[in-house]
Amino acid sequence: MVEKQEFMINMGPQHPSTHGVFRIVLELDGETVIGAKPEIGYLHRGVEKISENRTYEQVLPLTDRLDYVNAMGNNLAYVMAVEKLAGIQVSERAQAIRTILAELNRIASHLISIGTQGLEVGAYTVFLYCFREREIILDLFERATGGRLTYTYFRFGGLFQDLPEGWVEEARDFCKEFLPHVDEYEDLLIQNPIYKLRTKGIGILNKNIALNYGASGPVLRSTGVSWDLRKDSPYLMYDQVEFDVVYTKNGDVWDRAWIRLEEMRQSTRIIKQLLDNLPEGEVQAEELCRYVVPEERSSYFAVESPRGELGFFLVSDGSLKPYRMKIRSPAFVNLSLVETLVKGEKVADVPLIIGSLDPVFGEVDR
């Protein structure tokens, strides 16, 4: 008699398509996944604990290293959380510049996500096309901040410095050139019949499950929930610009990729509007002293990062250092869905599903 036996496969932490140091133990019946056990923690650095021993300013560079493909967004969430804690006001110009940079970084992050979605189905070319455009964004960041991956550009009360001369024109040129490239990705990958065959109806996420797990960002929006912090609790200049919240109903891998594609178009729209009406003025609050010493209280502030709700909860005991910092990481919460999503799918779809949750392990493990 032929004996039937399940088959364990250990994917990661060193595997070409686990998006970082992530390990998932798959139980296979042939090519079908019948069980999955995700394992995280390979990149844990104890950022939350370290920050208890640093002043508020010294914590800022650590936040760059959480979600390293969206460092601007992380700086933003932390800086705004501290500003809320200490009651610091920020000038209009600084707010507009922060919005522009955060949106540019959203585009850069989504470019990586869409590019790697291509890699996961063997379409290598679209990945390099995405990186070609990301390079232009990184050049813009380098001109403004001096860094290409970790910026530490946002400071309490404003920015490190004003934008360099000619930056606004360069950013405008980028917006003009970028939109045709988005159409290119759509033609080459998102609307490709084979890609649709591979991703439609794969990794279907139910609305209730998504809400119960606390998913956010494109992962939640793919299930038909129109929830975007930029619209629902506007911060920075988001209430003064026009843009649409992109959401779909099917909750599959294709929907999540399409949402990211469409969000790049919306982000470009936001950037264009802000570049045209950039307020004049100072970018740094003048009366600010060197150290931030908030009163004894706590505050939570969340922004819409490319992955979802990125929040910082800060508790102050009235000293120079935060008493406690808790990071609400969207990548961690979204990744917790992976076990539910991969069950019943084929082993070839596992990288696609992990990729569609767009985890960044700096943020998952913190």
Partner 1 sequence: MSLALEVTLRAIIAVVLGFSFVGLALVVLNVVERKLGGRFQSRYGPLHVGWHGSLQTIADLLKILQKELIIPAGADPVLFRLAPYLSLVPAITIFLAVPISENIVALESNLSLLIVLFLPAVSVFGILTAGWASNSKYSLIASLRSAGQMFAYEIPRTLSALSVVMLAGSLSLTEIVKNQQSIWFLVVQPIAFLIFFFTSLAEANRVPFDLTWAESELVSGFFTEYTGMRWAMFFLAEYGALIGSCFLTVLLFMGGWLGPFLPPVVWLLIKVSVLVLLSLWFRWTWPRFRIDQWLNFSWKFLVPLSIINLLVTGTLMIGLRVGV
The token duo for 307 is: 């992955």
- Contact between 274 and partner 1 by CB under 8 A: the answer reads no
- Contact between 195 and partner 1 by CB under 8 A: the answer reads yes
Q: Which stretch binds partner 1 (CB under 8 A): 62-70, 116-124, 164-172, 248-256?
A: 116-124
Residues 6+ apart with CB under 8 A from 150: 61, 64, 65, 68, 71
Between 74 and 117, whose beta carbon lies closer to partner 1? 117
| Nearest approach, Cβ of residue 15 and partner 1 (Å) | 6
User: Which residue among 13, 15, 39, 278 contacts partner 1 (CB under 8 A)?
Assistant: 15
| Nearest approach, Cβ of residue 192 and partner 1 (Å) | 6
| Nearest approach, Cβ of residue 265 and partner 1 (Å) | 22
- Contact between 206 and partner 1 by CB under 8 A: the answer reads no
- Contact between 121 and partner 1 by CB under 8 A: the answer reads yes
| Nearest approach, Cβ of residue 254 and partner 1 (Å) | 12
- Contact between 6 and partner 1 by CB under 8 A: the answer reads no
CA distance 162 to 153: 10
SS3 151: coil
**Alpha-carbon dihedral 75, 78, 81, 87, rounded to 10 degrees:** -60
| Nearest approach, Cβ of residue 111 and partner 1 (Å) | 14
CA distance 271 to 332: 28
- Contact between 188 and partner 1 by CB under 8 A: the answer reads yes
Angle between helices 167-185 and 253-276 (to 10 degrees): 160
- Contact between 189 and partner 1 by CB under 8 A: the answer reads yes
CA distance 257 to 189: 10
- Contact between 29 and partner 1 by CB under 8 A: the answer reads no
CA distance 346 to 290: 56
The token duo for 213 is: 């797990």
The token duo for 242 is: 């026009």
Number of residues that bind partner 1 (CB under 8 A): 32
- Contact between 350 and partner 1 by CB under 8 A: the answer reads yes
Across the chain, the runs of DSSP E, i.e. the strands, are: 7-11, 23-29, 32-39, 154-155, 158-159, 298-305, 308-316, 322-328
HSE of 256 in the Cβ direction (CA atoms, 13 Å)?
Answer: 31
- Phi, psi of 44, deg, nearest 5: -70, 125
SS3 35: strand
Residues in 126-145 that interact with partner 1 by CB under 8 A: 128-129, 132
Q: Which stretch binds partner 1 (CB under 8 A): 13-21, 83-91, 234-242, 334-342?
A: 13-21
Between 108 and 121, whose beta carbon lies closer to partner 1? 121
| Nearest approach, Cβ of residue 96 and partner 1 (Å) | 33
Between 71 and 189, whose beta carbon lies closer to partner 1? 189
CA distance 55 to 49: 12
Residue written as tokens 């000619």?
166
| Nearest approach, Cβ of residue 185 and partner 1 (Å) | 13
- Contact between 7 and partner 1 by CB under 8 A: the answer reads yes
- Contact between 124 and partner 1 by CB under 8 A: the answer reads yes
- Contact between 150 and partner 1 by CB under 8 A: the answer reads no
Residue 236, class by beta-carbon neighbours within 10 Å (0-12 exposed, 13-18 middle, 19+ buried)? buried
Say which DSSP state 307 is in.
Answer: T
| Nearest approach, Cβ of residue 123 and partner 1 (Å) | 4
| Nearest approach, Cβ of residue 245 and partner 1 (Å) | 29
- Contact between 346 and partner 1 by CB under 8 A: the answer reads yes
List residues binding partner 1 (CB under 8 A): 7-9, 15-17, 31, 118-125, 128-129, 132, 188-189, 192, 194-195, 197-198, 346-352
